[in-house]
Chains A and B, each alone.
Chain A
């Protein structure tokens, strides 16, 4: 076997991580092709299970999975289903072996917490961070280090779930370059492999989440037309459906002990897996009273158990097709992703639904991680040949008077995106505003996902409708929301702090970071230094690259300022003992290159639209003729 030989001076590689409900995978790009790293379990798949041992040790992967039936309350599986969820979420009431901590106050209730027998209850973000840390270690061992990471999330994840995933990355000491939608990642892996243009559907049924995405692949651009799904639907639900029957056979009663539930769930998984190979499967289980029972399951029984779940996926698929404005027969292919698509009935259901046999040439359990690795590689290479254009999965809106929702950004809008909305006072002498940002498709705000609330006080008395509040929502390429608001009537525009409804605050994450490190703040400062140095080095590279192509856009004085700032940054990277001087040098270079960066963007745009710069375009007949000629050229007609 050939070992990879690394250039010791080369920047550490960016990697891709599929942080799955059941298994997690870390992959990177080697000689242009994605490859999975071996995890601590000696295989590409790392079971997404974390065990908090009595000794204080934390086990991840197969070793933790082995504890699932022994110490179920100290062992967290399928943590992804709890990401971004609060203490009162219905998910906490479903069949499972975990114990939930009762929140001490409203602040704590913003995240569900597991009581794993430690002095402090653990949040899903911390559990996920343990999985990520283990994967990170694999990269450190096999690639010498990690230079940024792309983490995949279900396309249907809402803002709180995405933010939680990003926080977990941060807590694990990873630089999260990008959150990437799983179906888009899979499409990227297929698209780059097959080099085929066309319209595709990605059907992604994982352990705990279901996604469907309709996307158009054309000239290296992966344009998502519509996404849909259910962030609490997957193989786990199949297991639960099977386990309920098993618990009855075990005579476990209506309040089965955690050990019995864990055993039934694990037996359910085994039966489900066995049925992919054989038409019938059986397993021996301990029953109440000491005797064993043999539980049997046939394919026909499994098919009947999971049909209601499949019908829920069918509904989401039909809606995605409708949103994309396409008929199933217009699709060039259907791609299967996720471990649960190994269930035979799932495959036949998808074939019936779309009227064509689905494709699964790439391993459905690895393809998402492959896509994440490819995207990480693209982000660091920056050659512009391949681009992913994703969409907002759920509409964003603001609660109106009477509890309705004013949709400001509809679902399936291409991201990044943003919108402004203006609100006025509804009563005379109203002195404040309460605003509530929600995400979802339901008509009532109470039925949608609450994302953030904010209030504005101290408006001087004036008639109704006079005071104006301008709200701006923007969604970045990671599908993360930013809200800002300004009161504009009084002439004093003030920025308003927005309180997220779920998840951890930045302070929470900071505190967890300090607690997780052996030497607290000292370690954190060291970590910051390393991170800032990496950012500085990257910026030096990017600036040099920019100078090699666009130096003509700088005046002599500007060039001198850029060179000076660049020199200062380089020397601070070499000599600084803490992050702050490097950060200051980064800011200085940022400032010195600001106008130049704008001109470079103008040039890129001008090149993109064939020699016309954005600001020069005039609404003239000549211009229309120019565009017509442009169209004609692209159709191969003489202009």
Chain B
């Protein structure tokens, strides 16, 4: 299977230039979006649709730091499946439990401001973790274990952000 980096024609790096990635996606969409093939033959329309789907799928994977890291790991031969997921460090586990507790307290108390703070802290920390991830991927050789640990952290922070989002929908 073609890697998402190849599909979008961008270097296989973690520290991708987001503006450039978006521009590349726009350019490819201009060439492949089904709307550009509205008057063409049925076969051509199907082909354009399937290529546009692949490009959008690759774009979705590369835009998200978690799936971008997973795609890079897959290139290193470390494909992650349901059975070999990285385990979070004990210190992180403790923190996860505390923050979950704080979120559910704020949620029950109907404290919108507090939930928003938890969400924005999670965003800030996810950005920091992504920077550390970029550093790890720039080392040679790539410290796979550290990458896996950071991946666990990013996943946790995303889940926390999602849960805070659900809480905000309800408040």
A positions within 8 Å CB-CB of B: 177-178, 218-219, 221, 223, 315, 318-319, 322, 378-380, 382, 384, 387-389, 413-419, 474, 476-477, 538-539, 541-543, 586, 589-591, 593-594, 597-598, 601, 604-605, 607-609, 612, 614, 617, 619, 623-624, 627-628, 630-631, 634
Contact = CB atoms under 8 A, between A and B. Distances in A.
Contacts of A634: 20, 23
12 contacts: A178-B35, A221-B26, A315-B169, A387-B33, A387-B36, A474-B49, A539-B39, A594-B43, A598-B47, A608-B31, A614-B7, A619-B11
Given A223-B26, A322-B165, A416-B56, A177 B38 contact: yes
Contacts of B35: 178, 378-379, 387-388, 477
Interface string B46-86: 01110111001101100000000000000100000000000
A476 B34 contact: yes
A605 B28 contact: yes
A601 B51 contact: yes
A422 B44 CA distance: 28
A419 B38 CA distance: 23
Q: Is the interface of B mostly helix, strand, loop or mixed?
A: helix
B10 interface: yes
A62 B20 CA distance: 52
Given A476-B34, A601-B51, A624 B60 contact: no
Nearest to B28: A608
B38 A624 contact: no
A488 B43 CA distance: 26
A617 B6 contact: yes
B9 A609 contact: yes
Given A384-B36, A594-B47, 12 more contacts: A319-B168, A319-B169, A382-B36, A387-B26, A474-B49, A539-B41, A542-B39, A586-B41, A612-B9, A627-B20, A628-B11, A631-B20
Nearest to B6: A617
Contacts of A591: 43
Nearest to B5: A619
B31 A604 contact: yes
Contacts of A315: 169
Nearest to A537: B39
Nearest to A589: B41
Contacts of B11: 619, 623-624, 627-628
A627 B9 contact: yes
A609 B48 CA distance: 17
A389 B34 contact: no
B39 A538 contact: yes
Contact of B34 (A477, A586, A630): A477
Contacts of B29: 221, 387, 389
A53 to B, nearest CB: 39
Given A319-B165, A627-B9, A631-B17, A609 B28 contact: yes
Contacts of B32: 601, 604-605
B9 A597 contact: no
Contacts of B40: 539, 542, 597
B41 A590 contact: yes
Interface of B: 3, 5-7, 9-13, 17, 20, 23-24, 26-36, 38-44, 47-49, 51-53, 56-57, 59-60, 75, 165, 168-169
Nearest to B59: A414
A542 B41 contact: yes
Contacts of A543: 41
A418 B57 contact: yes
A382 B40 CA distance: 10
A135 to B, nearest CB: 21
B27 A590 contact: no
Contacts of A589: 41
Contacts of A416: 33-34, 49, 52-53, 56
A379 B35 CA distance: 6
Contacts of A597: 40-41, 43-44, 47
A598 B51 CA distance: 10
Contacts of B169: 315, 319
B17 A219 contact: no
A380 B47 contact: no
Nearest to B20: A631
B41 A219 contact: no
B54 to A, nearest CB: 8
Given A414-B56, A541-B39, A598-B47, A608 B10 contact: no
B72 to A, nearest CB: 11
Nearest to A631: B20
Residue of B20, B23, B40, B57 ringed by the most chain A CB atoms within 10 A: B40
A542 to B, nearest CB: 5
Contacts of B17: 631
A389 B168 contact: no
B80 to A, nearest CB: 15
Contacts of B7: 614
A617 B9 contact: yes
A609 B6 contact: no
Residue of A319, A416, A538, A594 ringed by the most chain B CB atoms within 10 A: A416
Given A322-B168, A598-B47, A477 B33 contact: yes
Top 10 nearest A-B pairs (CB, nearest first) are: A624-B11, A604-B31, A608-B31, A590-B41, A608-B27, A597-B44, A379-B38, A418-B53, A590-B43, A477-B34
A618 B131 CA distance: 26
Contacts of B23: 634
A417 B56 contact: yes
A597 B40 CA distance: 9
Contact of B60 (A413, A477, A538, A604): A413
Contacts of B27: 608-609
B168 to A, nearest CB: 7
Contacts of A593: 41, 43-44
Contacts of B60: 413-414, 417
Contacts of A538: 39
B10 A413 contact: no
A543 B44 CA distance: 11
Contacts of A609: 9, 24, 27-28
A612 B24 CA distance: 12
A67 to B, nearest CB: 39
Contacts of A541: 39
B26 A627 contact: no
A66 B63 CA distance: 54
A190 B49 CA distance: 28
A601 B36 CA distance: 11
A477 B47 CA distance: 13
B47 A601 contact: yes
Contacts of A628: 11
Nearest to A478: B34
A511 B96 CA distance: 58
A606 B82 CA distance: 37
Contacts of A221: 26, 29-30
Contacts of B48: 601
A590 B47 CA distance: 12
Residue of A219, A378, A597 ringed by the most chain B CB atoms within 10 A: A597
